[in-house]
């Protein structure tokens, strides 16, 4: 039986499978994507396995990922699943992403396109993908509030937003969930974001909860990343950084072996033990890995396990930024 959790406070709660499924990798970022038929079959198997929370975005592809998710998994079982998608980027006439834009007109355009591609009449959870410094967050929240009133969106979310931005948005339209990176490798949200979410009753949806695969246990010090794999461009995955960063994986593996679990399961179980309103969305293309990830919800780590993992994370200095400089600049820390 799949474990479920609730995102958001009373009046805005959203029940989802924990963990959910990040769908981006079915279209981009981790080498050549699978054939369309293979991806469709995988997503339908994910539904059968109990996944009810699917995360996609307009920019993934761009556009292809929403089409894939809509066709593959969701239209036949629409009432049984939760669809999360995102707006917030601008595109040229050829459909290439050119920058950030959260102008209200662009939000409405994005939602109409997402509804069409997802083959649905309502989006369960709509995130602003990146904070737009040129558009007041109150205008963004107001535009989403209007879409909720129109019945096109159910819940409002933010991605990579800082505490002040979260508060300002929440004052206009209650925020159900914040999405950002969080894992044993990256614990910055603990400083000010998680306390803000706890105070306001907002759920947290960590992406890259397995450190873009490093905490899945398959990456080694000899690993290389080919064309189309974003990790070839990420500072954490250079040869020198890998050598240092895999020390944390080795420490997590020690707990995993003791608990007869995988490294990935232990990393996800640690994350979900931090708060009941945390729902990670690890991405994968393989059913074996998906079942492994779902099994993390059944792994009850004891206080000593959790303390050991936290201490290991504290002890290892992670080498390399999350993103290249241009992508780092899109993160809101206000």
Distance of alpha carbon 32 from alpha carbon 8, whole angstroms? 36
Q: Which of 60, 91, 127, 182 is catalytic?
A: 60
Distance of alpha carbon 70 from alpha carbon 88, whole angstroms? 20
Cα-Cα-Cα-Cα dihedral sign, residues 109, 110, 114, 115:
negative
Q: Give Cα 129 to chain centroid, integer Å.
A: 11
Query: Residues 21, 53: contact at Cβ < 8 Å?
Result: yes
DSSP state of 52: -
| Nearest in space to 132 (alpha carbons), one of 333, 332, 334, 327 | 332
Distance of alpha carbon 62 from alpha carbon 47, whole angstroms? 24
Secondary structure (DSSP) of 168-189? HHHHHS-EEEEEEE-BTTB-GG
> Which phi and psi (to 5°) does residue 288 adopt?
-60, -40
| Nearest in space to 184 (alpha carbons), one of 253, 90, 109, 120 | 253
Any residues with CB less than 8 A from the CB of 119 and at least 6 apart, and which?
Answer: 70, 71, 74, 75
Q: Answer yes or no: 60 catalytic.
A: yes
Token couple for 235: 């500072």
Long-range contacts of 192-195, Cβ-Cβ distance < 8 Å, separation of 24 or more: 192/162, 192/163, 193/162, 193/163, 193/166, 194/274, 194/275
Does the bond joining 19 to the residue before it have cis omega, within 30 degrees of 0? Answer: yes
Distance of alpha carbon 252 from alpha carbon 274, whole angstroms? 16
Residues with catalytic roles: 60
């Amino acid at each position: 039986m799949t474990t479920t959790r609730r995102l958001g406070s009373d009046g805005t709660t959203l029940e989802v499978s924990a963990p959910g499924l990040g769908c981006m990798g079915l279209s981009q970022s981790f080498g050549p994507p699978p054939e369309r038929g293979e991806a469709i079959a995988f997503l339908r198997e994910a539904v059968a396995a109990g996944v009810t929370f699917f995360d996609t975005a307009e920019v993934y592809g761009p556009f292809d990922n929403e089409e894939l998710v809509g066709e593959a998994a969701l239209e036949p079982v629409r009432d049984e699943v939760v669809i999360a998608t995102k707006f917030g980027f601008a595109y040229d006439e050829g459909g290439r992403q050119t920058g950030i834009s959260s102008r209200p007109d662009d939000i409405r355009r994005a939602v109409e396109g997402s509804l069409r591609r997802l083959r649905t009449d309502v989006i369960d959870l709509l995130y602003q993908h990146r904070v737009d410094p040129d558009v007041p967050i109150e205008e963004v929240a107001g535009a989403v509030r209007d879409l909720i009133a129109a019945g096109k969106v159910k819940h409002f979310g933010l991605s990579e937003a800082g505490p002040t931005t979260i508060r300002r948005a929440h004052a206009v339209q209650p925020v159900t969930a914040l999405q950002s990176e969080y894992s044993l490798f990256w614990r910055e949200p603990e400083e000010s974001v998680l306390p803000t979410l706890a105070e306001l009753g907002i759920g947290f949806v960590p992406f890259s909860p397995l450190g873009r695969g490093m905490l899945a246990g398959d990456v080694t010090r000899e690993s290389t990343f080919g064309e189309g794999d974003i990790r070839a461009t990420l500072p954490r995955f250079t040869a020198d950084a890998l050598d240092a960063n895999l020390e944390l994986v080795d420490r997590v593996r020690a707990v995993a072996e003791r608990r007869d679990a995988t490294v990935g399961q232990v990393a996800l179980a640690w994350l979900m033990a931090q708060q009941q309103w945390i729902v990670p969305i690890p991405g994968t293309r393989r059913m074996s890995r998906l079942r492994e990830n779902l099994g993390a919800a059944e792994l009850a780590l004891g206080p000593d396990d959790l303390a050991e993992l936290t201490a290991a994370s504290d002890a290892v200095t992670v080498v390399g930024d999350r993103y290249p400089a241009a992508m780092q600049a899109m993160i809101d820390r206000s």
